[in-house]
Amino acid sequence: MAGKMRAMVFHGVNDVHLTEVPVPTAGVGEAVVKVTLTTICGTDVHIAKGEWPVEPGRILGHEPVGIVHDIGPGLVGYHVGQRVLVGAITPCGTCFYCLKGQYSQCAGYDGHWVPGGGWRLGNSIDGCQAEYVRVPYAQANLTPIPDGLSDEAVVLLSDIASTGFSASEKANVTIGDTVAVFAQGPIGLCAAIGARLKGAGLVIVVDSIPERLAMAKRLGADVALNFKEQDVVSEIRRLTNGRGVDVAIEALGTPQTFGNALKSIRPGGTVSSLGIYSKTLEIAPADYVGGLGDQCIVNTLCPGGKERMRSLMSLVQHHRIDLTPLLTHRFSLDRIEEAYGLFGRQEDAVLKVGA
């Protein structure tokens, strides 16, 4: 496959811009997908700021919807022209971690694990903020999109919904549990939705941006707390008869939100962490009773694989979830640098940007 394409490329810290690069080709077991919709993720902003290391020259982005453009040798069951969703996590299906069911930590066929594991797109290989993207291990990572579902309806399933929902899955939220979600960005909003899907009886959300708190209530949260207006830990204690919540989900990645999540759980409770911490994370001894309280801290990287994507699309198809309100802004690829500016500065009540 010959030719050039436009792509958003990381050239160095605070140097990310649209660049002309070669169109990728499909190798053995791979596919090339023509991207019809992708997004900007908070992780992309971390990369641009130098808070998560990637090689200069890397194309960013890991949430693609598109159309199969080229199929490599050995890939079966797909055809050119087919609409597909590609997971942000692309497990190989055969390494030690995949065979343990830990797809997000995939080490690939060669068994060489790198930070981020199965998160390859925009991390250890070129991503999808481009006209075309090469998908590794495509047999395990291309999910056909059912007829009638728009790109906008499914694009957020690739990463933020899968990640957000996984917080309650990893914490074993059960029917009737009380869950607090700290930070109501896109992943935090999805974490609140996920708590509902898992059967939580009371979902409390915490943020300081009124529009995000309003969105959380719109999407089903029961109580929305503004940490700039009240002591949210004390209020969470009051709402739970002094016990604390069964599960607190940390969805931002700051020491402050982690500390408040830890202070909010009951004895025997769980902190479920989704954040990428770009600053030193220290736990104050006064906030952590450790084994004396049977408390648990878990963390989760977005689950991957085509069956995960298929199951999430089923939730959309059968009207259990609607994530389109989170896609607040839309830019063409030509304007993706402008989109990065808006998203990075968190202007105009932005939640998620499509490109």
Domain count, the chain: 2
The verdict on 115 and 237 lying in the same domain is no
Asked if residue 181 belongs to a domain, the reply is yes
- Helix, strand, coil share (%) of the chain residues, nearest 5: 30, 25, 45
Asked if residue 244 belongs to a domain, the reply is yes
Domain end (from 299, 322, 338): 299
What is the number of other CB atoms lying within 10 angstroms of the CB of residue 302?
A: 26
Residue 257 has phi, psi (to 5 degrees) of -70, -35
Residue 83 is part of which domain span?
4-159+302-354
- Reported as a single tens digit per residue, the pLDDT across 80-90 is 999 999 999 99
- Reported as a single tens digit per residue, the pLDDT across 98-127 is 999 999 999 998 888 988 899 999 999 999
The verdict on 292 and 338 lying in the same domain is no
Quick one: tokens of 230?
């009240």
Residue 179 to residue 172: CA distance in whole angstroms: 11
The verdict on 32 and 146 lying in the same domain is yes
Asked if residue 149 belongs to a domain, the reply is yes
- Reported as a single tens digit per residue, the pLDDT across 159-218 is 999 999 999 999 999 999 999 999 999 999 999 999 999 999 999 999 999 999 999 999
Confidence band for 57, pLDDT divided at 50, 70 and 90: very high
Closest alpha carbon to 305 in 109, 81, 126, 94: 94
The verdict on 278 and 309 lying in the same domain is no
The verdict on 147 and 22 lying in the same domain is yes
Residue 42 to residue 323: CA distance in whole angstroms: 17
Quick one: tokens of 132?
């075309």
Least confident of 76-85, 111-120, 217-226, 321-330: 111-120
- Reported as a single tens digit per residue, the pLDDT across 259-299 is 999 999 999 999 999 987 777 788 877 777 767 888 999 99
The verdict on 56 and 192 lying in the same domain is no
The verdict on 181 and 312 lying in the same domain is no
Give the pLDDT mean for 37-50.
Answer: 93
The verdict on 285 and 325 lying in the same domain is no
What is the number of other CB atoms lying within 10 angstroms of the CB of residue 6?
A: 16
In sequence order, what DSSP letters do the residues of 13-30 get, joined into one string?
TTEEEEEEEEPP---TT-
CATH number (domain holding residue 244): 3.40.50.720
Asked if residue 165 belongs to a domain, the reply is no
The verdict on 211 and 70 lying in the same domain is no
Residue 202 to residue 223: CA distance in whole angstroms: 8
| pLDDT for position 2 | 62
Domain end (from 279, 299, 319): 299
Asked if residue 164 belongs to a domain, the reply is no
Quick one: tokens of 243?
């016990």
Evaluate if residue 4 carries a pLDDT over 90.
yes
Give the pLDDT mean for 45-60.
Answer: 93
Residue 352 to residue 331: CA distance in whole angstroms: 11
Asked if residue 49 belongs to a domain, the reply is yes
Asked if residue 43 belongs to a domain, the reply is yes
CATH number (domain holding residue 52): 3.90.180.10
The verdict on 8 and 155 lying in the same domain is yes
Domain end (from 283, 299, 315): 299
The verdict on 18 and 139 lying in the same domain is yes
Confidence band for 1, pLDDT divided at 50, 70 and 90: very low
Q: How far apart are the first and last CA of the chain?
A: 24
The verdict on 64 and 183 lying in the same domain is no
Asked if residue 321 belongs to a domain, the reply is yes
